[in-house]
Amino acid sequence: MNAPAHPTHVILGAHGAVGRALSPLLRAAGVSVRQVARTPRAAGGPDELFAADLLDAKRHAAAVAGAHTAYLLAGLPYDTAVWQRDWPRLMQHAIDACAQHGTRLVFFDNVYAYGRVEGVMTEATTFNPCSRKGEVRARVAEQMLDAMRRGVIVGMIVRSADFYYHGAAGATNGLLNQAVIDRLRAGKTPQWLGSVDVPYSATWVPDIVRSMAHLVTRSDAWGQTWHALTSSQVVTARALIDLACRLASQPTRVQNASRALVRVLGLFDRRLREQVEMLYQYEAPYRFDSSRLATMSGLVATPYEDGIAAAWAAQ
């Protein structure tokens, strides 16, 4: 499919951290951007704003009409029942809409489908979910992969580890932002789930969008799954918390929540209750490898020192 002189790229779910970071990068690359959300808001540029509930098939199709590429960045409430009900519908609407209009589809995914991995997560890691949310993510990833295999759409999956960003407090759901950086900004002690002393990977949001912006320009990248650029430094959560505390000129301290404590607190906090089945990610080594993309592209992931410093500086 030949791209028009001034192609339109559509961000499906424009208000998340990744969508907000992707929009200006796309504009800088010379494409028109259409931001799609229930109530879209301008992101500092002349983007087209399109209001749509992506669970409405007709509005979803209208949102991608005339677009060269769509990025499925939408999120759903962190609730297993909602995920089981709505994620397969949302993915099917995106596939159908892109098939109808000849639009390429980029799906931004997480690592839940991998389950608990012994060793390092790569693009070749098989799906072996050990949580209900992971089962949902495996199902929707397979929907996407099947549509690509059958030639229904041209697409790719871009996957990241837990991500962190330099937005304002509460800008993301990432543990590093909410439990560490935002709490330090408020003069509070950082918190963490599980162990602070096992290897841990986190993906810097500007590296996610740099990865996407590069991959969509490569004809040899479509039809595949890619891991977004992520630092190859082997660090622990304690090391990242120590770095953030030093930037905040505060002593290194952390309130560490065990599985038992999270279960108890979950009796009173729905989000913590939903987090219990995902604690395996913080109890064992969580290492994410993006060397395949780095080798192919020549791009270099942001070191944790630089990413945490930028996140802290954005007050």
**d(Cα 158, Cα 178) in Å, to the nearest integer?**
23
Q: Determine which helix (DSSP H) or strand (DSSP E) holds 241, and give its type and residue range.
A: helix 237-247
Residues 6 or more apart whose Cβ sits within 8 Å of residue 306 = none
The pLDDT assigned to 272 comes to 81
The pLDDT assigned to 67 comes to 97
The pLDDT assigned to 6 comes to 67
Q: Which residues of 189-222 are buried (b: 16+ CB within 10 A; e: fewer)?
A: ebebbbbbeebbbbbbbbbbbbbbbbbbeeeebb
Q: Would the CA dihedral through 144, 149, 155, 161 be positive or negative? A: positive
**d(Cα 279, Cα 51) in Å, to the nearest integer?**
36
Q: Where are the alpha helices (DSSP H) in 47-159?
A: 57-64, 80-101, 132-149
Work out the burial of residue 30: count CB atoms within 10 Å of its CB; fewer than 13 is exposed, 13-18 middle, 19 or more buried: exposed
pTM, entire model: 0.94
Nearest by Cα to 11 from 88, 94, 81: 94
**d(Cα 315, Cα 211) in Å, to the nearest integer?**
26
Could you read off the pLDDT tens digit of each residue along the chain, which spans 315 residues?
444 456 999 999 988 899 999 999 999 999 999 999 998 877 667 889 999 999 999 999 999 999 999 999 999 999 999 999 999 999 999 999 999 999 999 999 999 999 999 999 999 999 999 999 999 999 999 999 999 999 999 999 999 999 999 865 445 578 899 999 999 999 999 999 999 999 999 999 999 999 999 999 999 999 999 999 999 999 999 999 999 999 999 999 999 888 887 787 777 887 888 888 999 999 999 999 999 999 999 999 999 999 999 999 986
The pLDDT assigned to 260 comes to 82
* End-to-end alpha carbon distance in the chain: 43
Whether the CB-CB separation of 1 and 104 falls below 8 Å is answered with yes
Whether the CB-CB separation of 183 and 278 falls below 8 Å is answered with no
**d(Cα 289, Cα 184) in Å, to the nearest integer?**
29
User: How remote is the C-alpha of 270 from its chain's centroid?
Assistant: 22
Alpha-carbon torsion, ordered 196, 252, 310, 42, to 10 deg: 70
The pLDDT assigned to 4 comes to 46
Angle at 40 (CA atoms; ends 35, 44), nearest 5 degrees: 70
What are the chain's domains? 8-161+203-227 (3.40.50.720), 166-201+232-313 (3.90.25.10)
